[in-house]
Amino acid sequence: MQDNDFLNDGVKIRLGEEAKLKLMETLAADVEFLTRLHIMDYSLLLGVHDRDKAAEEEAQVSEAVQTETLYTVRVQLSYI
């Protein structure tokens, strides 16, 4: 999405207070740096992280690793 898409669609990014402060500090530092270099174009890339989906995927990976490890142990034991 581009900035006008956010405005036109009424989309808002909700941040906690700590994340908001960090973002504002970073933006201020970026603006100061770009101003010193006389650069006026700026793009901001935001990543969206779905915590519920990430936890689900992590659980699936963990389960797969445990299954693989268990299988490996069984194979090794069969050779003893």
Top-confidence residue, 67 or 56: 56
Look at residue 76 in the predicted model and tell me its pLDDT: 45
Q: Are 13 and 46 in contact (CB under 8 A)?
A: yes
Distance CA 72, CA 79 (A): 11
Look at residue 61 in the predicted model and tell me its pLDDT: 74
- In this structure, are 41 and 60 located in the same domain? no
Sequence letter at residue 68: E
- In this structure, are 41 and 61 located in the same domain? no
- In this structure, are 44 and 71 located in the same domain? no
Please tell me the pTM assigned to this model.
0.50
Distance CA 4, CA 10 (A): 10
- In this structure, are 10 and 38 located in the same domain? yes
- In this structure, are 43 and 54 located in the same domain? no
Using CA of residue 29, residue 31, residue 35, residue 39, what is the dihedral sign? positive
Look at residue 78 in the predicted model and tell me its pLDDT: 44
Q: Which two tokens stand for residue 54?
A: 């990430």
- In this structure, are 20 and 54 located in the same domain? no
What is the domain extent for residue 20? 1-48
- In this structure, are 43 and 71 located in the same domain? no
**What are the pLDDT digits (tens) for 20-65?**
899 899 889 988 998 898 887 777 777 777 888 888 888 887 766 6
